Amino acid sequence: MAFIKKNYGWIIVTILASLPLIVLSKMINLDWVNGLTLSIVENSGKGGRSTLDMLYHVTGEFAIRWMTAVLTCTPFFILFGVTNLFVRQAMGIAAAVWSILHFIIFIWMEGFLETFTQVNYVAGFIAVLILIPLLFTSNRKSMRRLKSKWKKLQKYAYAAIVLSLIHVALLEKTWIIYAVVVGVGFIIRIPEVKERIIRFRLKRKR
C-alpha cells in the first residue's frame, strides 16, 4: 500500500497510457510458432480506414495528446500550486512510446526513405529523435547522474512539441486545439504573468 500511495500518479498515467494498446493489440496478430511474426487483422479499422492506417492515426493522436499533457504540467503548477515531477516523467515516457510506435507504423506503411520526402515527415522524425534520449533519461538514476544537466536535456521537449505541431498542421489534422493549449501554457510561463498568477493564488489562500 505504501508503494501505491507514493507512486499513485505514475500508476494512473501508466494505466491511462496503456489502455488504448489493448484495443490496438486486437488489430495485430502475433505468431510465435515459427518465431515472432506480426500480421495485420484486415478490416478492423473504422471510418473507412484500413487497419494499418487506423493504427497510424491512433498512435499519432495519442502521441500529440501526451506531449501536450507533459507541457501543461508546469502551467498547472503555476495555476494551482500542485506538482509531481514523477507524474510528468510518466507522461513524458507515454509521449515518447506513442511517438515511437507512430513512427514504426509509418515505416511499416511507407518505408524509411519516405521520411525525407515531405517537410511534415521530417519534422515528425526529428521530434522522435529528440524524444528517444528523453525517454531513456526519464528516471531517478539519470536525474542523479546528470544533475543540473538533466533539466537542460528535458527542455528539448519544447522543441519536440513544436515540431510535432508542425507535423500535424501540415497534415491538415485537428491540430488547433493542441496549439491553443500549448500556446496558453507558454503565456503562463512568461515571468511577469507567472509572478502575477502566483501572487494572486497565494493572496486567495490567506
Tell me the pLDDT tens digit for each residue of 128-180: 999 999 888 887 788 888 888 888 888 888 888 889 888 888 876 667 888 88
| Domain that includes residue 83, residue range | 2-205
Cα–Cα distance, 111 to 19 (Å, whole number):
28
Higher pLDDT, 144 or 203: 144
Higher pLDDT, 202 or 32: 202
Cα–Cα distance, 115 to 14 (Å, whole number):
30
Query: Cα 170 vs. chain centroid, distance in angstroms?
Result: 19
Compute the average pLDDT of residues 24-37: 73
Considering its fold, how many domains does the chain have in total? Answer: 1
Q: Which of 7-16, 53-62, 84-93 has the highest mean pLDDT?
A: 53-62
Instruction: Report whether pLDDT(108) > 90.
Output: no
Take residue 174 and report the three cell numbers written for it: 485537428
Instruction: Report whether pLDDT(203) > 90.
Output: no
What does the pLDDT read at residue 104? 92
Task: Calculate the CA dihedral of residues 89, 162, 46, 118 and round it to 10 degrees.
Answer: -130
R_g of the chain computed on alpha carbons: 19
Average pLDDT of the chain, as a whole number = 83
What does the pLDDT read at residue 49? 73
Q: In percent, how much of the chain has pLDDT > 90?
A: 18
What does the pLDDT read at residue 23? 79
Higher pLDDT, 83 or 64: 64
Q: How many angstroms separate the first and last alpha carbons of the chain?
A: 34
pTM of the shown model? 0.84
Instruction: Report whether pLDDT(107) > 90.
Output: yes
Higher pLDDT, 5 or 30: 30
How sure is the predictor about 45, in pLDDT bands with cuts at 50, 70 and 90? low
Q: Which of 55-64, 140-149, 176-185 has the highest mean pLDDT?
A: 55-64
